Amino acid sequence: MPTTDDRRKWWILANVSVGTFMATLDGSIANVGLPTISETLHVPLHTVQWVITVYLLTICAILPIVGKLADLFGRGRLYNIGFLIFSGGSALCAVSGSIGLLIGARILQALGASLLMANSQAIVTTTFPSNQRGRALGITGTMVSLGSLTGPALGGLLIGWFGWSSIFWINVPIGILGFVLGLWMLPKTREERRAGAFDYSGSGLFIVGIVTLLYTVSNAEIWGWNSAVTWSGIGLAAIVLAGFGLRERWAANPMIDFSLYRNRMFFTGSIAALLSFTSLFCTNTMMPFYLEDVLRASPQTTGLTMAAYPLAMAFVAPFSGWLSDRVGPYWLTTGGLLLNGLGFVLLNLLAINVPVWLVGLHLTIFGIGQGLFQSPNNSSVMGSVPRAQVGSAGGLNALVRNIGMVLGISLSVSLFSARLNALVGRGYNGVPTDVHPILFMTALHSVFWAAAGVCVAGALLSAFRPQRTGLSGHLATPAP
């Protein structure tokens, strides 16, 4: 029979998994609702797109801040508050009668999601001993991918049955239940607080810099990569972020402790995760167009086909996490990224008349590869930092993931559009339904080859992480 403490840590994991799933789900579930929302609220597509963009931008802007606050005020407390804010934001989204209110509610929802994302890995890391940490983080890693990649399929079903507001209403009862259970379940401990420990100036510089950068990248295809507006935005972001870096270097209590990146395990794992999510969101963005516009699959079939990825990962990630507790992360992380690179190479063999099930089989490869990579990588990254900094490390890890998503979406669309422009000899704007499928596939293959290169680069970087069969002993003792 397990002890009470043994049972409690698995209940904590269940609570954290639910919050992680909800927070990542809402980064993608609204995608399929944009046409319906646009029609219902009578707004153009370029405006309604901010329902997605503002959510991701808000999360990227405040994740490190939330991680720092968690180290000061208690990870369990802030995580539980995240449930409440996220549920309230979801309810406001569901009842919004204008695009302005909906976008404002999505910002509130993203604030709650940030509290959930930044603290989930830190709570798991300090709750489980080192010999179980990989398996536990493997489960939360599965929730990240399930949330990110099942959003389109689940959203399509909910909208078809109950309307677009249902994709937000579904979060409310789950969030309230998570909040109530978390009141007595989640740890209440916090690190010793120091006077003047929060860096307000650094936080402001980071928010301005990262929002400017990601906003510019997200709009570069509309403005043009060579336009003065794009380069001005990138230049301004670079200046502000450079100022942020200087500020953090000399601050007594920096918001981001860049000394973490002198830890080779943390550095290599973080950048490898960035490259992994950048490459994989090329498939998340482009595959629906291939399935619907080239293979003429229905939206329901498209959703079910793309579900092959998260389903494969759901099976592999817990086993990979368990295995990393015994053999270490080195071969699993490097091998997983190489397998994803092979998956992108194989996607280039797909033609304009293949059966849909074959596409699903190809996507299964990514589920296996990401399942092998993500759990051991999270475990090695979070296990390599001192206990007092796991909140900051968790926020940075979640930030890297979200920046990778934004970059993957923006860069895949830009590369696809540029290649298609060169092929058709005229401006391209929107979904190329009037373009010959062969030209479509040629442009799509350019994206897949680039994504394969990103995966290989991530694998090479991952190969430089320390080879060891055990994780850092910083966090070997679970939280009380």
What pLDDT was estimated at residue 323?
A: 82
Determine contact, residues 15/186, Cβ cutoff 8 Å: yes
Q: How far apart are CA 471 and CA 265, in angstroms?
A: 10
Q: Are residues 375 and 340 in the same domain?
A: yes
Task: Please report the sign of the dihedral spanned by the C-alpha atoms of residue 463, residue 464, residue 469, residue 475.
Answer: negative
| Enclosing domain of residue 352 | 257-468
Chosen domain end from 212, 231, 255: 255
pLDDT tens digits, one per residue of 255-311? 776 777 778 888 888 889 899 888 887 877 677 778 877 888 876 677 678 778 878
Q: Per the structure, how many domains does the chain have?
A: 3
Structure confidence by residue, pLDDT tens digits, 130-185: 777 767 776 776 677 677 667 767 777 787 788 888 889 988 888 888 888 877 77
SS3 194: coil
Residue 251 is predicted with a pLDDT of 73
CA–CA–CA angle 190, 192, 198 (5° rounding):
95
| pLDDT at site 338 | 93
Do residues 231 and 266 share a domain?
A: no
Q: Give the pLDDT confidence score for residue 365 in this predicted structure.
A: 92
Distance, in Å, from the CA atom of 72 to the CA atom of 70, rounded to the nearest integer, reads: 5
Check pLDDT > 90 for residue 342: yes
Distance from first CA to last CA of the chain, Å, rounded? 21
Task: Classify residue 476: in a domain, yes or no.
Answer: no
pLDDT at 469: 42
For position 431, what pLDDT does the model report? 45
Q: 242-247: list long-range contacts, CB under 8 Å, 24+ apart.
A: 243/205, 243/209, 244/202, 244/205, 244/206, 244/209, 247/199, 247/201, 247/202, 247/205
- pLDDT over 90 at 85, yes or no: yes
Q: Give me the pLDDT at residue 194, please.
A: 47
221 and 261 co-located in one domain: no
- Out of 238, 255, 272, pick the residue that ends a domain: 255
Each residue's pLDDT tens digit, 425-468: 655 444 445 567 888 888 889 989 999 999 999 999 888 877 65
Q: How much is the pLDDT for 235? A: 93
Whether 372 and 321 map to the same domain: the answer is yes
User: Does 155 lie in the same domain as 251?
Assistant: no
Determine the pLDDT at residue 315. 82
Answer whether residue 478 shows pLDDT above 70.
no
pLDDT at 92: 94
Quote the pTM value.
Answer: 0.70
pLDDT above 70 coverage of the chain, percent: 80
458 and 314, same structural domain? yes
**What mean pLDDT do residues 95-123 have?**
86
If asked whether residues 364 and 419 sit together in one domain, one would say: yes
Per residue in 176-221, pLDDT tens? 888 888 777 776 655 544 444 567 787 788 888 888 887 887 777 6
Shared-domain flag, residues 97 and 218: no
How far is it, in rounded angstroms, from Cα 182 to Cα 81?
9
Say if residue 218 is in the same domain as residue 171.
no
DSSP state of 467: P
Q: In this predicted model, which residue has the larger pLDDT, 111 or 158?
A: 111
| Cβ atoms of 355 and 444 closer than 8 Å | no
392 or 348, greater pLDDT: 348
Q: Are residues 416 and 461 in the same domain?
A: yes
Taking a C-beta distance cutoff of 8 angstroms, is the pair 370, 459 a contact? no
- Contact call for residues 88 and 108 (beta carbons, < 8 A): yes
Max mean pLDDT among 97-101, 123-127, 400-404 falls in 97-101
Mean pLDDT of 33-53: 73
Of the residues 186, 211, 232, the one at which a domain ends = 186
- Return the CATH number at 132: 1.20.1250.20
- State whether 243 and 273 are in the same domain: no
Rounded to the nearest integer, the mean pLDDT of the chain is 78
> What is the band of 45 on the pLDDT scale with cuts at 50, 70, 90?
low
Output the pLDDT for position 430: 45
Least confident range from 90-94, 174-178, 363-367: namely 174-178
Place of tokens 């639910």: 18
Task: Tell me the H-state helices in 348-389.
Answer: 356-383
162 and 229 together in one domain: no
